[in-house]
Every structure is written in C-alpha cells, then in structure tokens.
Amino acid sequence: MKIICRCEDVTEEEIVQKIHEGYRTMDDLKRVIRVTMGLCQGKGCRRHIAKIISKELGIPIEEIRQPTYRPPTKPIPISATVDKK
C-alpha cells in the first residue's frame, strides 16, 4: 500500500481504482476522494497523481490538467488577515 496523498490518506490503489471507474481528471479525483484538498493543497501529491493518470490512461503527462485551486493557495497565519489599525 503506497500512500500518495498524505494529507487525505489516499493510496495509489484507490486512485487507480477511481480512474478505472471513470474519474479521469485531477478535478474528478479531487471531488470523489479529496486528493489535493489537504493542508498542503496538493503540493505533496499532485505530481504523483498526474503520473498515475498518465500511466493508467496512456496520456502524456504534459496533457494532464492540474486541478482548480481557490485562494489562499498556501497556509498563512490568521494575523495576516486581521486589520491592524
């Protein structure tokens, strides 16, 4: 068992299974098994997931679209959001 998304505890086997069930894009996988939605926002897993999709579907890795992101894309301290007047 190889964990690919450490933040969401998703294994390579789960990702491969979902790809073969028809979830063929990063956004599909994000919605169904929450990959790239953890604390690191996919920094630790998105390249590995793209490689798995590429291998399983026979698509060049450059053609794998990255998932959509919503700000903030990296963790910031709460104090950075508070008005300090």
CA end-to-end distance (rounded Å), the chain: 52
Task: Tell me the C-alpha distance between 45 and 30, whole Å.
Answer: 11
Minimum gap (Å) between residue 37 Cβ and ligand FES: 6
Q: Does 44 bind ligand FES (CB under 6 A)?
A: yes
Nearer to ligand FES among residue 25 and residue 82 (C-beta): 25
Contact in structure between 6 and 44 (CB atoms under 8 Å): yes
Nearer to ligand FES among residue 38 and residue 56 (C-beta): 38
Q: Does 5 bind ligand FES (CB under 6 A)?
A: yes
